[in-house]
Structure 1
């Protein structure tokens, strides 16, 4: 477990961890490209390594070095065994589509207990429209998922846009193998659109053309992925905890490798904290935080930024007035129900926080007290609650700290480098 004690000052210059979203898509794109690609500055986190494992099972040769992955791709094969994606929903969703293009037989994908509860039926229904047989072995729309090799057919596919953008990313990365141009038609309002902009950005780099339409997206048919060298940018989602920690303590922190023109939706953390009153500085490829700041509560629409909810919830606890998080029904379908978890656990620290169907209402109390917190095997809760513990009176005990390996493997070491009073026991 992680012990967090009140910390007065944080100081230092650090590099943002590489983007999880970009790393996933880059290694899968490289695995589909004929020839050799180099993925530079990849995230060596558990989730992204699940994508490496899945791509290897599907025929890619991937040589992992410390700061570069060398990927030989372009030849899909029928996997020898079940593909275990661990805790990675992104891997499960994207490879469910991609694995339909193996030359023969079946691919079976499963994961840990959390993954085996996450919804898959909208993607399975979409693949069926495209002549692909894919189904839940339990017949309840969750993993294990069995996918039969098949030829893509059809020029349109309908899918919901409000459950997970990963379903649409899966279609975008699979449909270039269709002979026809295919329109993805959204049957409900789109949420988490910035993740699809990341997908389209990566696909463009690999030579794949996708366009936005009035009804959804158009993926051109009969395309081929081309091998590239690609540098992964820093991750705004993971950096949100560093930014929040700096905002709440006396600090002088510089976070490098955060691109000002990034397509990451979670870049919105900059706008959000500025609106709350934190006058942080943004340079071309870095963010400078010189806290602490007096924060004011605001209303935040999290439709496109579900991963920022735990960070915003913690900041809201220390703000003056009310912070309202809304439009976040899909936040309940992450590694855990993050709305419920944030409300329950932060309340243990003395937060005034009320759960509603699509979000949270937080009355700022400015002071929290240390408590023993459950993180429900969710890496983002571990990091957000650590930030809360740095500002809380007394000692905060956080269970399940090992899950940070999913997206920010050296989070604890980085926080210690900055001067955080934390230790593992």
Structure 2
């Protein structure tokens, strides 16, 4: 385990943001479900993406990884070329996307699929799928231990699926990948207000690119899915990741001079919402082509309400900016932060409070009173959560004194080059302690 000492220093320069992890997961899966060869460009081999690559290989896909500059290119031959064994083991590591996308997909193949993983993945809710599998008489067997150990088998049936809209959109995406390949037509009816719609729009975008037709009836909250479809091989380039850009755009709003390149201005990524959040807090956003900068020449001002329901991944760094914005900021609808890699609701409060922020958890909200500056001089903890580690790094740029970040290596889950990028921009990082 790596503990890093971060000395306060301003960041300056340009960062070419890594490809979207959300889009990469989806493009890899769609290419692997197609007959023929696809090429997926602009890939970063984060831990989560490696889990998806290895998982699709277990289903029979052939995936060649090529170096193209600082990124990777994947040449993919779909799963249908090779017959898989009747039993396969898929290591989802700590990737909720890999696990939840793959569970319905596993029903397309003969035999049993066993899913293993680590961290908090085994404790993240799975009852949505368990109910579906039980109703259809399919195997859904857990080990009963805290670690993920789940075995599934059997074939899903086409038909009507009813799902609450306030559960993870990953369940819906898993079904959207799978149901078009079944013999009959299907409907996914959403029974409550639909959260994380941005992630589902990403899924529909990738499905269209690979030849799959799904209609979303927004008025009736229904996904209408014709059966007997097939994925078409397709070359695809993954766009830049607004989830990761959020950290450096927030750094700009806090007084650092950082330009972020590689972003698609008309992206459907939900975490593009960071731009609106920063504007709510008084920042000015400048967009020129694929480059975005944030600044706050007139200072940051709270006294706003930020809705976190659609953007749970960018709430920790948004809370950091709010902590340095004058007035009272409320960030609401944060229930889902509790079931991420850490309990991000409590972790965000705990870590920012260590640095001198005035922040409280009230039910499922964060209430933040802006302070003039952060003191630092504290040992923060990533909570083994990539987004907490990166938030603390950005906090160091506006702290009076040093910060130690424990378990800083967890950035590799989504952004393996984060610390190199941080140092290239002027961040002062040194290894404080290397534990066992």
Q: CA deviation at 1:113?
A: 2.9
Seen in structure 2, the aligned counterparts of structure 1 residues 161 and 145 have a Cα distance that, compared at 3 Å, is farther
The 3-state SS of whatever aligns with 2:284 is coil
Check whether the contact 1:183–1:216 (CA below 8 A) recurs between aligned residues.
Answer: yes
**Counterpart of 2:173?**
169
Seen in structure 2, the aligned counterparts of structure 1 residues 166 and 29 have a Cα distance that, compared at 3 Å, is same
Question: Does residue 1:394 correspond to 2:365, yes or no?
Answer: no
Equivalent residues in 2 for 1:182-261, closer than 5 Å: 182-213=186-217, 214-251=220-257, 253-261=258-266
Question: Does residue 1:41 correspond to 2:42, yes or no?
Answer: yes
Q: CA deviation at 1:141?
A: 11
TM-score by length of 1: 0.95
Q: 1:414 aligns with which of 413, 418, 421?
A: 421
RMSD, matched Cα: 1.8
The 3-state SS of whatever aligns with 1:124 is helix
Q: 1:306 aligns with which of 287, 308, 312?
A: 312
Which whole-Å deviations, capped at 9, do the CAs of 1:352-391 have from their partners, x for residues lacking one? 1110222201111121122111221100000011111211
Which whole-Å deviations, capped at 9, do the CAs of 1:26-82 have from their partners, x for residues lacking one? 111111000011110012111011000100111111111222011111326246542
Seen in structure 2, the aligned counterparts of structure 1 residues 309 and 79 have a Cα distance that, compared at 3 Å, is farther
Q: Distance in 2 between matches of 1:290 and 1:23?
A: 30
The 3-state SS of whatever aligns with 1:41 is strand
Q: Distance in 2 between matches of 1:415 and 1:245?
A: 11
Q: CA deviation at 1:411?
A: 0.6
Q: Distance in 2 between matches of 1:142 and 1:200?
A: 32
Gaps of 5+ in 2: none
Q: Distance in 1 between matches of 2:428 and 2:275?
A: 25
Q: Distance in 2 between matches of 1:142 and 1:406?
A: 18
Equivalent residues in 2 for 1:349-360, closer than 5 Å: 349-360=355-366
The 3-state SS of whatever aligns with 2:31 is helix
Seen in structure 2, the aligned counterparts of structure 1 residues 324 and 379 have a Cα distance that, compared at 3 Å, is same
The 3-state SS of whatever aligns with 2:211 is coil
**Counterpart of 1:32?**
33
Q: CA deviation at 1:159?
A: 1.6
Q: Distance in 2 between matches of 1:208 and 1:140?
A: 38
Q: Distance in 2 between matches of 1:145 and 1:322?
A: 44
User: May I ask how many residue pairs the two structures share in their alignment?
Assistant: 420
Q: Distance in 2 between matches of 1:140 and 1:210?
A: 37
Gaps of 5+ in 1: none
Q: Distance in 1 between matches of 2:295 and 2:370?
A: 22
**Counterpart of 2:79?**
74
Higher mean displacement: 377-386 or 279-288: 279-288
TM-score by length of 2: 0.92
